[in-house]
Amino acid sequence: MNLIPRLSNQAEFTFELSLVEGTNGFNGSLSLPSIISDISTLPIYVADGFSTSDIGQTITKVISGMTLPILEELKMESQEYPNLLLPWPRRQFLALSARSSFPTHLRALQLYHWVFMEAELLECLYSLPRLEGLAISDHQLTTDGGVNQLLLTDSLFSQLTAAPESPYPVPCLRFLGCFKLSLVQFDDQVYLDFLVSRLGPRHPVAVPFENRVYWLPEHHRELDPKVAARIEKLRGENAVVFSYAEAYAG
């Protein structure tokens, strides 16, 4: 952690959290220094060794000690799902965002295998008006654990639909991805309305909107033919970049 403040915005830094083999749990005594760093990209990966309560305390300490005044891309991911659920550190993230002035410069946010409600996600997104890229995932209960949680829903797509007459989150959004998995339980017309709304005057067609949805094999379904045809037409006009395919492992 002491190295981070000395890194320039050109440096590539990855932060991975894991408990050392043989450690007898997490005793809550972890002490981390407060840091201010000019890094522009920060991936945080949670690896093995933690319980859900352990990682909640650890992430809270890590986030609470950071100030990142020019950060442009933030990725936070559990590599142990479904064995490890990550509780969303709502209060600490919003404090980090305010402390680091994220509303003025954070452009990309990837949140994989964090458990939060739609309202918590929207609260986060409303606070990030410069955000251009967002990647999230649904969750599926498995024999190894996990939780059934839908994020890519009609409700979320409706909230993200651009509405010039009223405020809406992430007005600069140019990319929405679900790389890990989607349970594909949304209405195709609601989804299309969202997609088309993001092609307005604020975003010239010269800069296509990119959306990638990756589904688990058991949840595959074809899109509504009329919706699929409209998306294909938009692709032909270079208005959108669109992927709808089976999720890769990992």
Neighbours of 166 (CB within 10 A): 6
pLDDT at 70: 94
Q: Crossing angle of helices 90-100/118-126, nearest 10°?
A: 10
> Which of 114, 17, 1, 136 is closest to 67 using CA atoms?
1
**Mean pLDDT, residues 120-137:** 94
pLDDT in tens, 177-229: 886 677 788 999 999 999 999 986 655 556 899 999 888 777 788 999 999 99
pLDDT of residue 22 exceeding 50: no
Query: pLDDT-based confidence at 162, cuts 50/70/90?
Result: very high
Taking all residues of the chain, what is their mean pLDDT, rounded to a whole number?
Answer: 82
pLDDT in tens, 86-105: 778 889 999 999 999 999 99
Rounded Cα–Cα distance for residues 18 and 129 (Å): 33
Task: Give Cα 118 distance to the centre of its chain.
Answer: 12
pTM: 0.85
Rounded Cα–Cα distance for residues 242 and 232 (Å): 9
Q: Who has greater pLDDT, 68 or 147?
A: 68
* b (16+ CB within 10 A) / e for 189-226: ebbbbbbbbbbeeebeeeebbbbbbbbeeeeeeebeee
Rounded Cα–Cα distance for residues 12 and 10 (Å): 7
22 φ/ψ angles, rounded to the nearest 5 degrees = 95, -10
Percent of the chain with pLDDT over 70: 74
Burial class (CB in 10 A: 0-12, 13-18, 19+), 143: exposed
Q: Who has greater pLDDT, 81 or 114?
A: 114
Cα distances from 10 to residues 6, 7, 100, in angstroms, run 11, 8, 18
Rounded Cα–Cα distance for residues 238 and 249 (Å): 29
